[in-house]
Amino acid sequence: KRYTKEKEKIEKYGRLKFDDIKIMANISVPQEIEVAKRKGADGIGLFRTEFLFVGRDNPPSEEEQYLVYKKALETFYPEEVVIRLLDIGGDKKLEYLPVDDEENPFLGLRGIRLLLKHKEILKTQLRALLRASPYGNLSVLVPMVTLPEDIKGLLRIIHETKEDLLTEGRKIGSFKLGIMVEVPSIIWLIDKINPHIDFVSIGTNDLTQYIFAADRNNPSVSKYYQDEHEIIFEIITTIAEKARNFNLPVSVCGELAGKEDAVEILLQFGVKKFSVSSFKVPFIKRKIYEIQTVKKGNMKAKTSDDPSLLS
Ligand code: PEP
Ligand code: MG
């Protein structure tokens, strides 16, 4: 009983809204859209669309995808919904998309690298996303960007897809395009793609795996996989500085963003957007509330419906 009371108390923090900080949700399946909303997420910061594609014998149709994306955009409107292009490869395989056996799948055909080789899958997903774009709160996120060529190749296909849809008489809205910063090379190439992107999102799970050369799923090397190591924070500072120079908003969407101790450090580096598992949203909001209350000696946060909520 005491546990339930405590849980209810924490859940209330989900209703907090901060002036300049957003706590968004990472989701994987359509059912999580409502859960994220209930937990008080300020939008969706990472929709891992691969879960719409796995565990079946054929890819989801354009219409099926469109309906899911539309539901997410409608549920959270006007807050931002960041939908990531299919991030398959690495440890995730699709029955209907045979790829050659790879000795090092995490260093192989994964994310945007694979999409650029299987343009039909990419085009169908882009069509569904562009059809949902008139809602106005869509952001599209590109996984595993390694070189500027990845973005250039994608832009060509986005352009073709737009032309096709317009020829069919469909409406297209505006949307933002962003990249996952999770492959180290791209950190020093942001200046080359800056004109083409609107935001960056730091994926600390893969970034950690690629910085320490330690498979994120291999327990034998787990001691090398240290996502709270000081060099990870140093790298995040570098990314945040570069992003600031180019006026690109930056968010953190890896597991690190949902670790309470890390949040305080990330805030100091100027990170203002965090995307965490839905159930963690109220905990992270509570943490930020506590930091702000202690630091400023007053209540910076406000709730939309009940200011005395937390008293
Ligand atoms: C990441 O790599 O940090 C990330 C958020 O994406 P995923 O865990 O889906 O690879
Ligand atoms: Mg990743």
β-pairing, 176-181 with 22-27?
unpaired
Q: 202: Cβ below 6 Å to ligand 1?
A: no
Q: What is the mean pLDDT of residues 114-133?
A: 97
106 DSSP assignment = G
Ion ligand 2 neighbours (CB, 5 A) are 182, 203, 206
- Chain segment 10-47, per-residue pLDDT in tens: 889 999 999 999 999 999 999 999 999 999 999 999 99
Q: For residue 95, give the nearest of 59, 134, 139 by alpha carbon.
A: 59
Residue bearing the bigger pLDDT, 192 or 296: 192
Q: Is 83 helix (H, G, I), strand (E, B) or coil?
A: strand
Catalytic residue list: 253
DSSP string, 254-276: SGGGG-HHHHHHHHHTT--EEEE
CA nearest ligand 1 atom 4, residue: 203
Its sign, for the CA torsion 234, 236, 241, 246, is positive
Quote the pLDDT of residue 310: 58
Burial grade of 67 (CB within 10 A; 0-12, 13-18, 19 or more): middle
Question: Which among 32, 205, 274 is the best mutation to test ligand 1's pocket, defined by most ligand atoms within 8 Å of the CB?
Answer: 205
CA nearest ligand 1 atom 7, residue: 205
Q: What is the rounded CA–CA span in Å between residue 98 and residue 298?
A: 57
Assess whether pLDDT exceeds 50 at residue 307. no
Beta bridge partners of 302: 17
Binding site members: 48, 84, 182, 205-206, 216
Q: What is the rounded CA–CA span in Å between residue 286 and residue 16?
A: 8
ipTM over 0.95: yes
Which residues 6+ apart lie within 8 Å of 52 measured at CB?
29, 30, 60, 64, 65, 68
pTM of the model: 0.94
Question: Which among 182, 215, 227 is the best mutation to test ligand 1's pocket, defined by most ligand atoms within 8 Å of the CB?
Answer: 182
Binding site members for phosphoenolpyruvate: 48, 84, 205-206, 216
